[in-house]
Structure formats: structure tokens, C-alpha cells
Amino acid sequence: MTQANESANRIDATFARLSQAGRKGLWPYVTAGYPDLDTTIGLLKALDQAGVAGVELGFPYSDPVADGPVIQTSFSRALASGFRVGEVFERIGAVRGELSMPLLAMVSFSIVHRIGPSTFIERAARSGFDGLIIPDLSLEEAADTARQVTDAGLRLVMLVSPTTSPERRERIAKLSSGFVYYLSVAGITGERDQLPPDLPENVARLRTVSGRPVCVGFGISQPRHVEAVCAVADGAIVGSAIVRRINGCVDRQATGAEIIQDVSDFVAALQAPLT
């Protein structure tokens, strides 16, 4: 695997730029190939133009790891429509030059293992991804994957939950690169009305032990959530709330252009507290 220039990684550059400007970033999540790859590419272009910090692109999988029913629905529909990992890499590679923001692949280790870690990482890097999030990657087995990801010039974003012990948080922080993904709540993804009161303290502790930016996801669905999270963290990750809107569009047989507009409007509202 060819060693890449670490300084070129867009995730690092984005956090450096935001920090210099005294700003925080929004990281939307969308499901790859849902409802089709043309719409996915259109969404990426629209989100890039909207100035989001970066996008997490979820790879559909038949046995979701920590995804609630909203994202599971998008996975099932994408798989039923013939989703293929290779097609995602091909399409991202074809349009990467038109996108300036970082892209992270959120993918089950089962997919990575089936393709082969070295092959998957190489293809992800070649197509223009900047990092990987592998929610079911065992901490005990993560060191080799982290090395391969780093050697490819990518970042491996690891997850920490509120129930993770202090000792494991430090081990995760040492393996994580780019940023640390803190789950605001334990359990599966999904929208919630309130964020946990201990969130600021937990984020501050994690940033201290990790020495890396911390972004918060799970349960963030409203502009006030984004504002509250970004008051203490380096970014907010919004997934289920976005995918729920796409599900609704699909249910009413909206066009790809209508889906892109709906998501763009929602993301603009989410970003409003950050401007």
C-alpha cells in the first residue's frame, strides 16, 4: 500500500480551518445509493455547496450495527434496489474532483472483511474518501486496521459511548485519527428531544484524554441541538433526522431533485446556529 501525504487529508485541513476561524462544523450523514446513486451524488454536491464540514456516507448492510429503524429502512431499500459497494467507489471517484469537503465511509467491518481490509482501504483512498468509520471494529483488533488506514493517508474515526470506561476511552483515542466520534447517548441512532445533561463534561474529558477534535452524534435532530453540541464540541453529526426526510420523500414518490432540495433546506436550518 502506497504511503500517502498525511498533510493532504481533508479532514485534518477542515478542522484546522474551522479552528482558525473560531467555528464549528456540521457533518451530515446520508445513505449511499439511496434512493439511487444519482441522488446520492446530487446530495453530495449540494451539501458541499452548502458549506458543511464534511459528509458521512453510510454503506448499506443487511445487519445494521447501531442504526435505528430510520436508517435501517434506508439500508433495506437500497439493498433491494441493487446497491453495490464497487459502484459507490466508481461514482465517488468520478466526481471527487468536483467536491472540496471531506468524505467519510461509515461501513460495517463485515463488508470490509468480505472485500479484504487492504483492498477496501486502497479502493476507498483511490476513489477519494478521506476516512473510515467502522462501528463494529473491535478495539482489540483495531490496531492493524488503524495502521493500514493511516498508511493509505486516511483517518480512522473511532466511536466512544457514554458507557465506555475511562481506560478504554484512552485506548480508543490513541487509535482514532481525524477526530473522535462521541455518542451522545448509548444505544442505537435516532432522534431525541433532549440531549444528555452530562454531555459537556463528557466531551471535555474526551478531548483532554484524546488531544483530538471531538464530534458528537446520535440524537441530534434540531438546530438547537446543533447549537448546544457545538458550544462544547468541534462538530455535530446528524444522521437519522436527515434520512427520515429522505424516507418521507421516497414514500411520497418525490423526484431526486425534490429530495435534494428538501435535504438542503433542512441542512441550512441545522447550520443556521453556526453561521
pLDDT digits (tens, 9 = 90+) for 96-139: 999 999 999 999 999 999 999 999 999 999 999 999 999 999 98
Within a domain: 18 = no
Nearest to 217 by CA among 272, 144, 173, 158: 158
Within a domain: 17 = no
**Whole-angstrom distance, CA of residue 60 vs CA of residue 48:** 22
**What's the pLDDT at 65?**
58
Which DSSP symbol is given to 274? G
Within a domain: 229 = yes
pLDDT digits (tens, 9 = 90+) for 233-254: 999 999 999 999 999 999 999 9
Within a domain: 84 = yes
Within a domain: 14 = no
pLDDT at position 63 over 80 = no
Cell numbers representing residue 139 in the block: 478495539
**What's the pLDDT at 198?**
83
**Whole-angstrom distance, CA of residue 104 vs CA of residue 176:** 14
| SS3 state at 201 | helix
CA atoms within 13 A on the CB side of 216: 29
Within a domain: 87 = yes
CATH number at residue 84: 3.20.20.70
Exposed (0-12), middle (13-18) or buried (19+): which is 219, by Cβ within 10 Å?
Answer: buried
pLDDT digits (tens, 9 = 90+) for 201-240: 888 888 888 889 999 998 899 999 999 999 999 999 999 9
pTM: 0.92
Q: Determine which of 15-24, 48-57, 58-67, 79-88 has the lowest per-residue pLDDT on average.
A: 58-67
Give me the helix-helix angle, 142-151 and 117-127, nearest 10°. 30
Beta-carbon count within 10 A of 261 CB: 15
Q: Which residues pair with 203 in a beta bridge?
A: none
**What's the pLDDT at 67?**
58
Within a domain: 228 = yes
**Whole-angstrom distance, CA of residue 38 vs CA of residue 33:** 8
Mean pLDDT of the chain: 91
Nearest to 219 by CA among 249, 246, 248, 199: 199
Tell me, what amino acid is at 14? T
**What's the pLDDT at 173?**
83
Q: Which domain holds residue 168?
A: 26-274
Q: Residues 145, 146, 149, 154: is their CA dihedral positive or negative?
A: positive
> Catalytic residue positions?
56, 67
**What's the pLDDT at 226?**
94
pLDDT digits (tens, 9 = 90+) for 142-194: 999 999 999 999 999 999 988 889 899 889 988 899 999 999 865 434 444 56
H or E element in which residue 125 lies: helix 117-127
Within a domain: 19 = no
H or E element in which residue 106 lies: strand 103-106
The number of distinct structural domains making up the chain is 1
DSSP string, 59-85: ---SS-SS--HHHHHHHHHHHHTT--H
Beta-carbon count within 10 A of 51 CB: 15
